[in-house]
Homo-oligomer: A and B are copies of this chain.
């Protein structure tokens, strides 16, 4: 009888995602995952070759959650904008997964669905495959970069915004006056607004006839 424990690769990956959300990447150990599933640690290796394969599996689950617009009348710019927003939303629901998405590209059919939709909107609009590939690459980099800075709150404790760090405000003002000047504005920026701002710059440049 196969799967005496009732487990499947998918069920293991889904539990892994639960643990990742609750405990973070360090808390997602093979042993903790097995404990949560009520099996011996080594049973996990029936479904995944090693811990990295589990993390890859979690990434595939999240890629599958990305929604792509289905309306074929939508142009490539609007389609890609909707996909990018969906990616951002999924990652905001699973912030600890950002490093995984930065590491493991979509691989399964479900995970690749949104990529196919994005490509289709470009190709159907007459964009050539190479331009499509370049646009996809730039947009992936933008997704990952913005997600990293957002979930790590990269600009929150920026010097001059948070003078409680190792450098005090007078020292900063003397050595880096422009950081003192710009810092407060940096930490006041709105995540969603800045995401849209940079995204528009990219889309306007990447999509040949953005209409």
Name the B residues within 8 Å of A148 (CB-CB): 102-103, 141, 144-145, 148
Copies of this chain: 2
Choose from B166, B181, B183, B189 the contact partner of A107 (Cβ within 8 Å).
B166
**Does B152 contact A102, Cβ atoms closer than 8 Å?**
yes
Q: A205 an interface residue at 8 Å Cβ cutoff?
A: yes
CB pair A179 B116 closer than 8 Å: yes
| Contact-residue bracket for chain A | 35 or more
- By the criterion CB–CB under 8 Å, are A149 and B144 in contact? yes
A157 — which chain B residues lie within 8 A by C-beta? Answer: 105
Given contacts A103-B152, A109-B175, 20 further A-B contacts (CB under 8 A): A102-B154, A105-B154, A105-B158, A112-B159, A113-B176, A116-B177, A119-B179, A119-B182, A123-B182, A129-B181, A133-B182, A137-B155, A137-B194, A138-B198, A138-B201, A140-B154, A144-B149, A198-B202, A201-B201, A201-B206
The 10 nearest A-B residue pairs measured at CB: A145-B145, A141-B145, A201-B205, A119-B178, A133-B185, A133-B186, A116-B176, A144-B145, A138-B198, A102-B148
